[in-house]
A and B are shown apart, each in its own frame.
Chain A
Amino acid sequence: MNPSPTPAPSPAAPPKIAVVDLWKSFSGKPVLKGLTVEISSGESLVIVGGSGAGKSVFLKHLIGLIRPDRGRVIVDGQDLTSADAAVGLELRKKFGMSFQEGALFDSLDVFENIAFPLRRHTRMTAAEIADRVRECLELVHLPGVERKSPSELSGGMRRRVGLARAIAMKPEILLFDEPNTGLDPITSAVIDNVIVEMREHLPVTMVTITHDMKSAFRIADRVAMLREGVLIATAPPDEFRRIPDPYIQKFIAGEPLEEEVA
């Protein structure tokens, strides 16, 4: 069930993010092989796929953390892959990203981690920043950890602080790398709700990576399966469930494949 019916993107509306024929290999080993996808404004795209399929690599291309060998990433009509440093910096201000392992600054406490982008890119007063930080921490159900250092937190807590840091700036585009891996089912559902609610209040475009099909169906407008360097299927949740591809069906059901994963 989709909580927020996406306004059907008019065919004329340009995509928020367009990925065109993306290729990337690491030391000769191809990871992305001509991946193409368009993400429209306000859409929530969920990427699923096996471990090591290249999901994180794909997500890092979207924000320019990795340069592709070939192909382009276009954000709001601007080519991120060929942008110079200044344009790239401006483009990245539209993004918020949470990393698979949190990637919190361990020289700063939780409060300063979340306040970091606010201090750097806004003119908010100290009180406004404190309010925003508290609000973000409440959203991810972690009140009162402001003065803890990242090393004092559990893995799941770190990831949630990373999530709070990603949404602190209320960016136009959010990228989440496995926001609920390693969380208990209840907290995981809480995170899903945070993501769903955020879309109800803000016109945010989201790309989320997850292994958890349940949460994929909960938060997605479209689900895409990444396998062997390309998206083999992209469809709204109800359709995705019914795709007769054996790999996708096994993936949804959580069953082993007969032929071994290459």
Chain B
Amino acid sequence: MSSSARLLHSVRTPLEAVGLRTTALFEEAGRFFFILYQTGYWLLRRPFDGRQWLRQMVRVGVDSIPVVGLTALFTGMVMALQTYRGFERFHAEAYVGSVVSLSLTRELAPVLAALMIAGRIGSSLAAELGSMRVTEQIDALYAMATEPIHYLIVPRVAATTLMLPPLVACADGLGILGGYGVAVGLMGANPVVYWEKTFQYLDLNDVFSGLIKAAAFGLILSVTGCAKGFFTSGGAEGVGRSTTAAVVMASLVILISDFFLTKLLF
């Protein structure tokens, strides 16, 4: 190989890699919006499969309560611990309750709960649909004149989107209780003052914006998981890849969209 050819080669390879990455990104986005659009299209069509909806809502909502609850509880506790230590330095301990309740409802509870659900549900959606794809079960549905998006994806996306707000509402409550416990029980804060400050600056809008975010995250993570699973190829290995990619991608998109949603909602 001549030196100029080698030079050309060494330049082309990274450029090619960038190009391939970009195409892959567009392809990924295309699949996401395809599933999102199709889900909307089939959402209210007959037959309505109430049993599936219920089953998925239990799977996403009820079964996730322990994970989300523990996450919120300890986040509230550590928030109280940290802010108390910090605020002590300028004698603002009284405001710990406000900080904990505001940051939980507006930001931490929705984001952390969504990340936990992305790990729990996003991955299992991708694995479930992915293995149905590689064993031709999705083809079989289609062959039986049943639209796979309608039968499989609609109830899963709807259940996740509907169940995230109530889960986050629980998380809000548990987180605030955890903060109260640590501040009052451990750091010796005045219980009456703490409780009063918790709600003094807390608007209903703060809570609502958190719940809206939660629904948006639920939509994002379930569509990502379903899209990853639905477009799986390459056997068992492909299912593994889809599962991992679903969690990574959903988490990233949640964190990125969080910024824009926050900007939008306030």
Contacts and interface: CB of A to CB of B under 8 A. Distances in A.
Given A65-B142, A120-B47, A89 B147 contact: yes
A101 B135 contact: yes
A89 B145 CA distance: 5
B47 A105 contact: no
A105 B52 CA distance: 14
B137 A105 contact: yes
Contacts of A100: 136
Contacts of B139: 60, 65, 99, 103
Q: Which 8 residue pairs across A and B have the least CB separation, nearest first?
A: A103-B136, A103-B140, A92-B145, A97-B143, A93-B145, A117-B144, A99-B136, A65-B139
B142 A103 contact: no
B132 to A, nearest CB: 8
Contacts of A101: 135-136
Contact of B140 (A85, A90, A105, A121): A105
B108 to A, nearest CB: 35
B146 interface: yes
A99 B145 contact: no
Q: Report, as a range, how many residues of chain A touch the other chain.
A: 20 to 34
Contacts of A105: 132, 137, 140
Interface in A52-73: 60, 63-65
B137 A106 contact: yes
B103 to A, nearest CB: 41
A95 interface: yes
Contacts of B145: 89-90, 92-93, 95, 117, 120-121
Contact of A63 (B135, B137, B143, B146): B143
A101 B137 CA distance: 10
Given A105-B132, A105-B140, A106-B137, 13 more contacts: A63-B143, A65-B143, A92-B145, A93-B145, A99-B139, A101-B136, A104-B137, A104-B140, A105-B137, A106-B135, A117-B145, A120-B144, A162-B140
Contact of A103 (B47, B137, B146, B147): B137
Given A101-B135, A103-B135, A120-B47, A95 B140 contact: no
Contacts of B146: 116-117, 120
Interface centre among B132, B135, B139, B143 (most CB of A within 10 A): B143
Contacts of A97: 140, 143
A101 B132 CA distance: 12
Nearest to A116: B144
Contacts of A165: 144
Q: Report, as a range, how many residues of chain B touch the other chain.
A: 10 to 19
B142 A85 contact: no
Contacts of A162: 140
A97 B137 CA distance: 12
A92 B143 contact: yes
Interface in A149-189: 162, 165
Contacts of A106: 135, 137
Interface string A98-129: 01110111100000000011001100000000
Contacts of A99: 136, 139-140
Interface string B112-127: 0000000000000000
Contacts of B142: 63-65, 92
A29 to B, nearest CB: 15
Contact of B143 (A85, A95, A120): A95
A90 to B, nearest CB: 8
A93 B139 CA distance: 14
A254 to B, nearest CB: 28
Contacts of B144: 92, 116-117, 120-121, 165
Contacts of A89: 145, 147
A95 to B, nearest CB: 6
Interface string B143-175: 111110000000000000000000000000000
24 contacts: A64-B142, A65-B139, A65-B142, A65-B143, A85-B147, A89-B145, A89-B147, A92-B143, A97-B140, A97-B143, A99-B140, A101-B135, A101-B136, A103-B139, A105-B132, A105-B140, A106-B135, A106-B137, A116-B144, A116-B146, A117-B145, A120-B145, A120-B146, A121-B144
Interface in A76-99: 85, 89-90, 92-93, 95-97, 99
Interface centre among B132, B139, B145 (most CB of A within 10 A): B145
A90 B137 CA distance: 20
Contacts of B132: 105
A255 B47 CA distance: 52
